[in-house]
Amino acid sequence: NIGNLVALEVLQASKTVIRRAPWSIAKLSRLQLLAIGNSSYTPEGLLHSACPPLSRFDDLRALSLSNMNMIEIPNSIGNLWNLLELDLSGNNFKFVPASIKRLTKLNRLNLNNCQRLQALPDELPRGLLYIYIHGCTSLVSISGCFNQYCLRNLVASNCYNLDQAARILIHRNMKLESAKP
């Protein structure tokens, strides 16, 4: 039983045949890195059965749930207070929950190739440094990205449906970046 490994800090189970994470991993209170994405078998919409309650991981610093065919991100993701890096790339959700703004320590958000993603929340974590949205072909609005004081890097290539406001914001941001000494 993996739940008996109470001192475990890293659980790297990406690219395996595991169909879902065992609920007993919720007992791993010292877990700092959890990577369960890129499973060779993940039916669409398996989010709630594939992932134990996220609010149980108080010390989690990095979470990878990439390529899991998730159609919804749970609001409880906002309870991962110590999270620094979040990889949700390659999933099928349309929206990122507003609760993500509570991740005040988050500095890296990977949403690459979330082809159904339509908009980012109006508010993102204030300390966010890097946002990756490459290949988000349904993405229309990204206004929340530019309310960030710390944002250093926005990768937004192949986002073909961005509205005019988003394109203007990106263009303006590029000008501001090139004007910095």
* Mean pLDDT for the stretch of residues 117-140: 92
Q: How confident is the model at residue 147 (pLDDT cuts 50, 70, 90)?
A: low
34-77 pLDDT, tens digit per residue, is 888 776 545 444 444 445 566 678 889 999 999 988 899 988 89
CA distances from 52 to 7, 22, 25, 49 (A): 18, 7, 7, 7
The per-residue pLDDT for 98 is 93
The per-residue pLDDT for 109 is 96
* Mean pLDDT for the stretch of residues 98-106: 95
149-178 pLDDT, tens digit per residue, is 677 788 888 999 998 888 887 777 665 554
Mean residue pLDDT of the chain comes to: 82
Q: Got the DSSP string for the chain?
A: -GGG-TT--EEE--SSS-SS--GGGGG-TT--EEE--S-S---TT-HHHHS--GGG-TT--EEE-TTS--S---GGGGG-TT--EEE-TT---SB--GGGGG-TT--EEE-TT-TT--B--S---TT--EEE-TT-TT--B-GGGGG-SS--EEE-TT-TT--HHHHHHHHHHHHHHHH--
The per-residue pLDDT for 70 is 87
- What the chain holds in terms of domains, given with CATH numbers, is 2-179 (3.80.10.10)
